Structure 1
Amino acid sequence: MVLKVDGEPTSSLEQVAGEFIQFYERLLRSSTPWQPVSPSVLCLGPIVSQQQAYTMISVPSDKEIKKVIYDIGENKAPRPDGYSSGFFKKAWSIVGHPFYQVVKEFFNSSSLLKMASVLGSIVDQAQAAFVEGMSIFDNIHLA
């Protein structure tokens, strides 16, 4: 059940959907003035420890790289060239060593962050997206 703008309750799926659409249309069309975020506010939330920061920028081991590839579903994350993780798994004896080299070269020459290992400690529990084992849909509650 949802309270409509006029204060009346409704459980009609059509009216509930309409209320959600109207809410977000009003929200996104509002002309609330933009204000910069004070750096002191950033310190109020969870902060990455020095060890976590080091972990995110350290070069991954061959074992970590292979685990990431093998943890992806067979048909997930197809690349622009059409190769899925299933392809890489099946061809690992051929592509594994060059793949390790490419990933390590990227870490040595760029600034990719390995955030997955620390997201749970810095992302609020109400945030479901990007948290292992949770879905963005976990935050949708209709009574």
Structure 2
Amino acid sequence: MNSQGCYLTEEPEVVNEFIEFFENLLGGQQRSQFLNLTYLRPWARHIISNEEGAELIRPVLRSDVKGAVFDIVEDKAPGPDGYSAAFYKAAWPIIGDEITHAVQVFFHTGKLLKQINATLLTLIPKVGLILWEIIVLYLAVMYFTRSL
């Protein structure tokens, strides 16, 4: 059933209604109704100024992206791609434009490249690969007895 109360039976109609419903639900299109938030003001601890609001929605600049990358401590653990912040800083003249573009697209569209959000997952079995004989021999060589 669509938003007008009509039953849809054809696949293209159902697909279009489905997409339209979730676009409206998730904010894909601007909502037409006005939302009055004045009743929330008494509970707001801080209301941002117009200047702060403008700062939050301004376009992300190349200098913002570079500043964020260069603010990361170089010897922190690498990300899922295996590269540390030191690599990104050293390679910035080569990769800076691409990284900046990806970040700007994200802030403009709200969509993140799948490759950026990739996670490496390593499954480590709890048992089965341990060579107990070698461990027991090593412990014996080091004068550990079975009574320990």
TM-score by length of 1: 0.45
TM-score by length of 2: 0.43
